[in-house]
Amino acid sequence: MTRKAGSKPADVARDNRQDVWDALRETGVQWRTILGLSDHLRIARKTVDDYLIALAAGGYVERRNLDDRYQTVEVRLIRDVGYHAPRLRKDGTPVTQGGGVTNMWRSMRMLGTFGVTDVALHSATPSVSVTIDTAQAYCGMLLSTGYLRVVTKADPVKGHKAVYRLIRDDGPQAPMIQRVKQVYDPNTRKVYRKVGQE
């Protein structure tokens, strides 16, 4: 079976919205065409345009149409809210469900080595709250299922929390803690249980 030109195999799936957001942040306030972004990122034009429509509706980008031809619609960033791509519906309203876990995973991938306070601070956005307790629970579960390694042990006497390193990064989609206290990784479509658990 052949893939469409520019498409990626499932094992190297990308977070297209994050890629678009990163490209907009790199450009700053300069105008870019949708066609240019699509070609540069090798992402389908419709995928790029759909996300840009949501960003415009949410007040993050400005759009202008030069001559009513699809490839000459231009956009520029007018509201930069940091590293994490805004998770939006098409009408520009924020999607908050699962946002904390998504942001924590992105932060871990970006930081490489971190404590729970780092994860909480880097993952909170105007529309998504991430507490230190939430970050602690997520890090604890990822540690027990083989995603993290302790670099520096916690020292309760000195008030120091543990420092972790991400050692298993299977892709951009956040591993999810399930109710039965196991982790489902949508990148590999596998379930991981705590070390020593059958």
Phi and psi for 196 in degrees, rounded to 5? Answer: 90, -10
Residue 172 lies in a domain: yes
For the stretch 153-164, pLDDT in tens is 988 888 888 999
Residue 84 lies in a domain: no
More confidently predicted of 11 and 78 = 78
Q: Are residues 156 and 71 in the same domain?
A: no
Q: Are residues 73 and 115 in the same domain?
A: no
Q: Please, are residues 157 and 146 in contact by the beta-carbon 8 Å criterion?
A: no
**What is the distance between the alpha carbons of residues 132 and 51, in angstroms, rounded to a whole number?**
30
More confidently predicted of 48 and 71 = 48
Range of the domain at 155: 99-192
pLDDT at 11: 33
For the stretch 27-42, pLDDT in tens is 888 899 888 999 999 9
Q: Are residues 30 and 62 in the same domain?
A: yes
Q: Are residues 72 and 103 in the same domain?
A: no
pLDDT at 10: 34
**Domains held by the chain: number:** 2
pLDDT at 14: 62
CATH of the domain at 116: 1.10.10
Q: Which tokens in the block code for residue 12?
A: 């190297």
Q: Are residues 59 and 110 in the same domain?
A: no
pLDDT at 54: 93
Q: Can you tell me the mean pLDDT for 84-103?
A: 84
Residue 5 lies in a domain: no
Residue 115 lies in a domain: yes
Q: Are residues 23 and 66 in the same domain?
A: yes
Contacts of 11 by beta carbon, 8 Å cutoff, 6+ apart: 171, 187
CATH of the domain at 48: 1.10.10.10
Cut 0.75: pTM above it:
no
The yes-or-no verdict on residue 2 having pLDDT over 60 is no
Least-confidence region, from 20-34, 106-120, 133-147: 20-34
Q: Which tokens in the block code for residue 44?
A: 């389908």
pLDDT at 9: 36
